[in-house]
Amino acid sequence: MLENIFPHGLKKSLPNKLESPKLADCKLLCNYALGDFTLESESSIGDFLGTVLNNKKSNEKITDKTTIIDVTGAPLGIPNKQQVNIGSLQENITPKLLFEGHIEICENQVVHELDGSTVRSYVVQVSNNRGVIKKVDIREKEYSQKAFAIIQSECPEIVFNSAVKNSYAIMRDHMSRLLSEKIQYLPEKHLYKASGWTKLSGTWRYMHGGMPNVHAGRKLEEVRNINEAFGRFFTLSKNLLKPGQEEENYLIFLHSHIGYLSRILEEARFPVHYILFLKGKTNTGKTSLLSELSGEIMYEKPPMARLEDTKSYLEGVIAEMQDSLLLVDDAHPSPTLQGEREIKANIETIVRAYGDSQTRGKRGADRQKLEKTKISGAVWMTGEYLHLAAQSSVLRVLEITLNDNAVNRDTLTILQQNKDIARQYYSGYIYFIEANFEKLVRYFFDTQYSMRKKWADLLKTDIARTVDIAVCLEFISYSIVEYAKYSQQNISNWCTQVEQAIQLYLINKVMIDKKADPIFVFKRMVRELYDAGELRLAPNKDVFRNNMEYIGYIESSIMYIINAKLAKNIKNKCLENGIAYLPPKVPTLYAEGLLASDKVKRFSLYRVDNSRPTMVEIFMDKIINDE
């Protein structure tokens, strides 16, 4: 009977002859099992056992004395009774110490990642009697199986007595028990790992690293005097460039705001679909100027982007610069074909990301996970040459050409020496938007139709993208005027000047866009090559066949030219003129009436080098004489 009642440790304290146990041992056993029960000297072992069985307290009391604990004495679990050595039966039995620390779940944390996803985790505090306190984040999905393993990894200085049998199972059960007891009472804390606009409880807030629940590199300035912050920078903004490029000055200043305003335009169903390209020779100061106006001024260590970077790196920087203005430097023609392809692909990545408001989709190795980062913000680029891969991309670009030494070095020096001037101004602009977010959304939404009609008439064009650029620029100027009022300043005259500058510059862009049409560029470049004598055309087929200096010949008012040679000459001519050339397909040129055939053809005879080059047939009168 005793073997069914008492754990192994207690049985050792009983005499071998159970018929006549010592009364002292019986009394000790009875005290542990029954608490206040007193064993009289005349009591028999039968009375004792009957009392234990009737009260059903023996196992529970003894188990309490053999519970495995942490350093505070809190129970961690009930071990295998065969593995617990409680020594001789004394009044105070020392329980087995399994973990020399104490674990407490503090809060349920929701982490908002850079790509817009959320990750839930539990913040667990681990401490010991030596004053060591650590907080460990354990993801919700990993908690059930890995919680204690993560604690061990993060807190190696806290001793875990793993020699105890089933020690890991005990700790796993303990972690589960802790969570089940606490989960409904845990406070929920939101942590943001990205900067930008977020809607919290129905209100739009611009999250940044200066806020206690945001871990991000971007940090806004605390604006001490909004009136002074606006006035000081706005005065400098009128002289970013030297006299003679006032229109360009206005457009650069306007575009510097669009990254922070883009979310409002999206909410008003008018997303930003253009980028600004600042074109100029090396050492004109263009990159230095834009660096003082870009979103990077809000960073201690700003993310940098160049067109030589890998595509995945560029996409990472684009994602980091949400609701800000990204500067991409150094667009230029590459001396190698591979380099040109990479730069061209990166330009398209940037133009498409901001034009379509999203990065590329990516599928993981499991072919299930599909990630696509939504993009809100803006970009501007600098360089000598912007090589685009499609006509639609050309229409997304607002190109500004700077004269030599166009940047006002005095203004640039002031901004470089006191970066607080620009930071205070743009931080104030963001705070203004935050305070008037819904009001601005309603205004943009209600007026965009009439604005589109107005600018289509002013620009005399039906090119929708160019009209939208004009509308976007006017919206920006409106927001700046409202920001001035918010700062108790009046700049109404400035607004009129800006509208005139937008109109003049975009009328010119409409003309340039028409000239950037691939068909127009093809005709123009072939004509210029012909007039300059750079197309070495033989007077007839036989001369061409026998003289390798010629790349083609003329016969019956048709120019027969080696297709690869013509393409190379046109490309070089475009580079010389700073024109982004998008070669039209042969069937397209044929449909326009420029070619005699809708496909290229091999030369009918072998030339002296035993080659038969592929020729394209061009109507001379359509190229040379057609205006």
Between CA 251 and CA 292, with CA 577 as vertex, the angle to 5 degrees is 30
Tell me, what's the pLDDT at 443? 97
Contact 429, 301 (CB under 8 A): no
Q: Which residue has the tokens 């326009």?
A: 592
Tell me, what's the pLDDT at 572? 87
CA distances from 186 to 117, 124, 146, 183 (A): 22, 11, 20, 5
Task: Name which of 108-122, 247-261, 359-373 the model is least confident about.
Answer: 359-373
Which residues neighbour 107 within 8 Å (Cβ) at sequence distance 6 or greater? 122, 123, 186, 187, 188, 189
pLDDT category of residue 295 using cuts at 50, 70 and 90: very high
Q: Find the mean pLDDT for residues 150-171.
A: 85
Q: Kindly tell me if the per-residue pLDDT of 476 is higher than 70.
A: yes
More confident residue, 42 or 48: 48
Which residues neighbour 397 within 8 Å (Cβ) at sequence distance 6 or greater? 274, 275, 276, 277, 351, 386, 388
Tell me, what's the pLDDT at 44? 57
Q: What percent of the chain has pLDDT over 70?
A: 80
Task: Name which of 75-89, 153-167, 253-267, 494-508 the model is least confident about.
Answer: 75-89
Residue 389 is classified by DSSP as S
Query: Tokens standing for 393?
Result: 């991309």
pLDDT in tens, 125-151: 998 888 778 899 999 999 988 999 999
DSSP code string of 575-598? HHHT----PPPHHHHHHTT-BSSS
Q: Kindly tell me if the per-residue pLDDT of 3 is higher than 50.
A: no
pLDDT category of residue 24 using cuts at 50, 70 and 90: very low
pLDDT in tens, 342-368: 877 888 888 878 876 666 655 555 444
DSSP code string of 523-572? HHHHHHHHHTT-S-EESSHHHHHH-TT-SEEEETTEEEEEHHHHHHHHHH
Q: Find the mean pLDDT for residues 7-16.
A: 45
Tell me, what's the pLDDT at 11? 46
Contact 289, 462 (CB under 8 A): no
Delimiting residues of CATH 3.40.50.300 domain(s) in the chain: 226-434+469-475
Cα dihedral value 523, 526, 530, 534, nearest 10: 160
The SS3 of residue 283 is coil
Task: Name which of 193-197, 363-367, 510-514 the model is least confident about.
Answer: 363-367
Tell me, what's the pLDDT at 519? 87
Q: Which residue has the tokens 């039995």?
A: 93
What is the rounded CA–CA span in Å between residue 237 and residue 249? 8
Top CATH class of 226-434+469-475 equals alpha beta
Tell me, what's the pLDDT at 72? 72
Tell me, what's the pLDDT at 90? 36
Residue 95 is classified by DSSP as P
Tell me, what's the pLDDT at 6? 46
Q: How far, rounded to the nearest angstrom, does the alpha carbon of residue 327 sit from its chain's CA centroid?
A: 15
Instruction: Encode burial over 355-385: b for 16+ CB neighbours within 10 A, e otherwise.
Output: bebebeeeeeeeeeeeeebebbbbbbbbbbb
In 71-166, the DSSP E strands lie at: 75-77, 97-99, 102-112, 118-127, 133-139
- Average model confidence (pLDDT) across the chain: 82
More confident residue, 352 or 439: 439
Task: Name which of 142-151, 373-382, 534-543 the model is least confident about.
Answer: 373-382
Query: Tokens standing for 174?
Result: 């303990």
Task: Name which of 268-277, 299-308, 350-359 the model is least confident about.
Answer: 350-359
More confident residue, 352 or 187: 187
What is the rounded CA–CA span in Å between residue 403 and residue 400? 10
pTM exceeding 0.85: no
Q: Which residue has the tokens 């000081």?
A: 232
Q: Which residue has the tokens 């995945």?
A: 312
Tell me, what's the pLDDT at 481? 96
Tell me, what's the pLDDT at 359? 64
Q: Kindly tell me if the per-residue pLDDT of 61 is higher than 90.
A: no
Tell me, what's the pLDDT at 156? 87
Angle at which helices 58-65 and 23-34 cross, to 10°? 90
Angle at which helices 337-356 and 311-320 cross, to 10°? 30
